[in-house]
Structure 1
Amino acid sequence: MLRTKAAIVGTATLLAAMGIAFAPPAAAASLTEVPNFGSNPGNLRMHVYVPNAVRPTPAIVVAMHPCGGNGPQFYQSSEFGRLADQHGFVVIYPSASNKKFNCFDNWSDASKIRGAGTDVESIISMIMYAKRQYQGDPNRVYATGSSSGAMMTNAIAALYPDVIKAGAAFMGVPFACFPNEAAYQPGGNPAPCAGNLGKTPQQWGDIVRRANPSYTGPWPRMQLWHGTADNVVAYSELQEEIDQWTNVHGLGTTPTSTDKPQASWTRQRWNDSSSTTRVEAITVAGAGHNLPMSGMAQYAIQFFGLTGTTPPPPPPPDPATGCRVTYQPESWSTGFTADVRITNTGTSSVNGWTLQWTWPGNQQVTSAWNATVTQSGTQANARNVTWNGTIAPNATVSFGFQASHSGTNTAPSAFTLNGSACAAG
């Protein structure tokens, strides 16, 4: 199932009792909850990030969390807030209510109908609030999200093409994939769309067109991401999304171009007659259910048109030889703490890092210090905090966490830093 449990930073009292010293977490200075933003049939919460250097008539980006998460956690674990600081746009972070493991509603009959009164309508209310409150540009409203949030990205684009101009869906499924709540069990299922899997592009496109039968304007441009080793939302769903959105845009299924922006990425583009990219799909070789990784949000906002430059490649180190990770656990019957040290063995500084690993057992992170740690199934991500984001050549940074386990507490066998494999220390 789409059950993502985001790790929670431990309290000072708990860590002090364990004898662990840590620096205070960085404050989210401009992340603000908006309690009364308008109609809210989905009973969602709204947080908004307005950068200090917000642009006049700013673009608005809605960034939606995976199952088990919430808006503030997605703000911490993704890079959209930092990119807003650089480019002056406003970010809305919705939080799902406590239904179906805190996932956004992508299964009910109402979730497939415009104006039917569910999570989609609440998110549209948030967008309208941001337009009024921050004088947001109605022609630059975009949606993005991870897993359940990616599914909602597709839904908003399908139901409100007059509001959303483009979307970036990380590990999603096509709009109206799930016929009902009982079918919303994609974890470990090679065909989570159940009876809907295997529809033709025309059939997928017709589902979107039926949701807006009188709409004649341009459809949102769509960027679609998926990892080939995703064991929660099947990689096969990427093709279903491609089929749906290329058909909606009146394009064939053969890409206009194919390239490799990064060594492990394969990007396909479908352009219209004016050479505008309408659909873009990026396959990430070997990646599991842990997107977006570091650097991917930059490609998303570039696709939206919110940057004026080509995004840089992920920061060093180089694959396999540029980093070393030392992992030292201290275990007891049902729990453990771990000290993790990252050494940059490359020749260039690492500026902003995300360390990723896969648990071999049922380990579950419960708190962390000197890093923001999130977890999706067996896959964990640790992201730097403000004071330790730079690792100079030959320098080391460290962080730690507490976790629970049952049975044998086997250590992870491999780590990647910003998508590159690290040597074991």
Structure 2
Amino acid sequence: MIVGMAMTVLAALGVSAASVPPAHAAQVITDIAYAPAQPSGSKGHLLDLYLPSTGITPRPLLIWHSGSAWTSDNGKEGADEIAAVFNPLGFAVAGVSVRSSGQATFPAQVHDIKGAIRWLRANAATYQLDPNRFAIMGDSSGGWLTEMATFSGGVTALEGTVGTTGVSSNVQVGLAFYSPTDFLQMNAQNLPTGGLDHNSPASPESLLVGCPIQTCPDKVAQANPMTYVDANDPPLLFLHGQADFLVPHGQSVLLYNRIKAQCGTGTFVSVPGADHMKVQIMDPAHYGTETVRTTTGCGETVGTGTLNATWANFATFLRGGLKLGTSCEVTYSTGVWNGAFNGSVVIRNTGTTPISGWTVTWTWSGNQQITSAWNATVTQTGAQVVARDAGHNSYIGPGSSQSLGFSATATGTNDIPAQFKVNNLACTRVPA
């Protein structure tokens, strides 16, 4: 009975109640079948898409899966709340469901998320998604699924044949909240005040793998995200509360140590006093107290309070992993003659991660009309201008810059545009 109650608590903490679709979404498409239902009538092969009304296309995509201790086949719930944050930033959001442990045991859940990723990538053009910029996020068992998808790119045994095949299931960056990793060590890592009996035949972990976990260590190892960590994995940001009663904080400690040992790229935010809920992980009362460990290329930095658990910081991390840019400056200059002018736009990457592929947007305040351009493909609709890199100049390393030029006509005022954005990120304008 106690285990059953605990599983119910896990599900309640991981799954948000459905709410009204966000007003900022230009289009919300629900219950898309990325593969046939299995078993019939189940919801584990459905996804919802939230497409923003703002930003450039093609759009980066953030995939969300809500935790439930693997007991629910409706993990796409809660994606509306994620879309409320990320749609205004130009991200499309996909809420993805996978089969529950009662419907299929591991590795079915990983096969499902990979099937959904393949479907989304195969249909990227239809929904104006950028197939090279897929991020994934989840909490609890959804965090576990996030880590499995992030680390197991190219692992044939976990690919499966669910739905669309022949398309990459890789993601480019992951973000996970309080996820389990090594099931066999969970009981030993429980808080001194107690925790779940993860070794029980009826524990969430045992039900996932289809056997009492201590009796089938080989299968448990296959379900351990750490098994697949190597130096070539995408970056992962993961957060865990030190007072987590349901999934021990030590599970993320193990993962961080594994990433560091493999010379991978990861950032681990350890939050004192936080239990197994995003609201506690993100509680402003903890700002400035988190221990933040970052490892990349076998190096490590450790700080206190250097990364607060805020949506703004999460968005910055995801943008960096997707190589969209996290900070930029633009220098704009013109040379004017009768009724016409030449313009130059210099983009400087002031962030710490590269920009790979860029689009600059701005809006004129007058009657300017671009007639030709170089070092970019430029289109204008009304007063809005969209300039995309020319291919040869698509990469802007940290501290580096690229430029574009254009000729235009103008009548009346010819003021400098009020704002320039690079990949939907507002840049600081620097005087010429």
Q: Specify the TM-score bucket, using the shorter chain as the normaliser.
A: 0.3 to 0.5
Q: What is the TM-score of this pair, normalised by structure 2?
A: 0.47
- Greater fraction of residues in helix: 2
Relative contact order (C-alpha < 8 Å, sep 6+): which is higher?
1
**Radius of gyration: which is bigger?**
2
Q: What is the TM-score of this pair, normalised by structure 1?
A: 0.48
